[in-house]
């Protein structure tokens, strides 16, 4: 039996991973602030939606409204997907605002009120209810769709003890990725929780690194990515230089 694979339809990723990756993968995107982790996740989401897949995007750093603005700034119109619920924002950020007694509208223009794809998590620090929501969605997406988490570092800052979260990631890998065949891709900032990062890298099937080209960092911030590890798939070993172009997403600058 041929294992099930998918291609990202994101130029630098497809160059680095000519065969695509296994659907049963847990993949981490590692890099410092500004290297493009969130834009990469946005494009991965948009391309998956274009292919007819569903996407569950776990937001820990921003509200669905602000994430929608980022999608528009990239030239990716996802409004209809959010309305139908094909793109679901699992909002793990707004609880902070609610705790201060402020209720924000779901989106600032009001056009997304009642959209199926905006789901609020009451308190993401409660890992049991968080897991229930992920598991239910992933079960519905079996063999299709993907789960994206931006960012796991932020998740660590709100959980008092990182080890239950690491345990949850291992359960998610076993149930969501391997059993439901729904890939999980998470972002992780370099420089925080390094002990946790090493354990997480070992637990992941794939590791992508994003960085600023160290040779020219004083003059320019040139973004690069490489695949450090991808279980079950062939990958090119080199760094690829890319830029972000509105309307196109991530494009290779030179190979």
Give the binding site for Mg ion (CB under 5 A): 37-38
Residue 94 as a binder of ligand ADP (CB under 6 A): the answer is no
Which of the choices Mg ion, ligand ADP, none does residue 36 contact, using the CB cut-off of 5 to 8 A by kind?
ligand ADP
Q: How many CB atoms lie within 10 A of CB 6?
A: 17
CB 76 within 8 A of CB 87: no
Stretch that binds ligand ADP, among 30-38, 121-129, 137-145, 225-233 (CB under 6 A): 30-38
Label residue 52 exposed, middle or buried (CB < 10 Å: 0-12, 13-18, 19+). Answer: exposed
Q: Helices marked H in the chain — which ranges?
A: 11-16, 37-50, 64-73, 79-84, 94-99, 127-141, 152-158, 162-172, 194-203
**Closer by beta carbon to ligand ADP, 71 or else 180:** 71
Instruction: Report, in Å, the least distance between residue 242 CB and ligand ADP.
Output: 10
**Closer by beta carbon to ligand ADP, 181 or else 250:** 250
Q: Which residue has the tokens 């003059």?
A: 219
Single residue of 38, 133, 204, 224 touching ligand ADP by CB under 6 A: 38
Residue 250 as a binder of ligand ADP (CB under 6 A): the answer is no
Which of the choices Mg ion, ligand ADP, none does residue 246 contact, using the CB cut-off of 5 to 8 A by kind?
ligand ADP
CB 230 within 8 A of CB 14: no
Torsion of CA 145, 173, 179, 230, to 10 degrees: 70
**Closer by beta carbon to ligand ADP, 44 or else 87:** 44
Q: What distance in Å separates the CA atoms of residue 92 and residue 74, rounded to the nearest whole number?
A: 23
Q: What distance in Å separates the CA atoms of residue 227 and residue 11, rounded to the nearest whole number?
A: 14
Residue 74 as a binder of ligand ADP (CB under 6 A): the answer is yes
Reading the block at residue 20, the tokens are 């695509």
Instruction: Report, in Å, the least distance between residue 210 CB and ligand ADP.
Output: 6
Stretch that binds ligand ADP, among 8-16, 34-42, 52-60, 93-101 (CB under 6 A): 34-42
List of residues contacting ligand ADP (CB under 6 A): 31, 33-39, 73-74, 244, 246
């Amino acid at each position: 039996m041929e294992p099930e694979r998918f291609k990202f339809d994101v130029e630098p990723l497809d160059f680095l991973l000519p065969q695509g990756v296994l659907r049963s993968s847990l993949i981490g995107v590692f890099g410092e602030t500004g290297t493009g982790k969130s834009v990469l996740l946005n494009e991965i989401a948009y391309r998956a939606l274009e292919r007819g897949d569903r996407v569950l995007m776990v937001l820990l750093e921003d509200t669905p409204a602000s994430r929608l603005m980022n999608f528009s700034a990239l030239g990716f119109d996802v409004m209809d997907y959010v309305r139908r619920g094909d793109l679901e924002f699992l909002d793990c950020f707004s609880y902070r605002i609610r705790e201060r007694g402020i209720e924000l509208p779901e989106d600032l223009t009001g056009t997304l009120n009642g959209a199926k794809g905006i789901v609020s998590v009451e308190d993401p620090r409660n890992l049991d209810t968080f897991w229930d929501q992920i598991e239910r969605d992933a079960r519905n997406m079996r063999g299709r769709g993907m789960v994206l988490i931006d960012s796991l570092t932020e998740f660590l800052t709100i959980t008092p003890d990182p080890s239950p979260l690491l345990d949850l990631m291992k359960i998610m890998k076993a149930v969501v990725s391997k059993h439901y065949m729904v890939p999980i891709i998470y972002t992780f900032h370099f420089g925080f929780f390094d002990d946790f990062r090493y354990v997480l890298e070992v637990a992941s099937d794939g590791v992508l690194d994003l960085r600023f080209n160290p040779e020219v960092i004083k003059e320019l911030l040139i973004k690069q990515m490489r695949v450090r590890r991808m279980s079950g798939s062939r990958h090119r070993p080199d760094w690829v230089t890319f830029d972000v172009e509105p309307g196109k997403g991530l494009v290779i600058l030179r190979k």
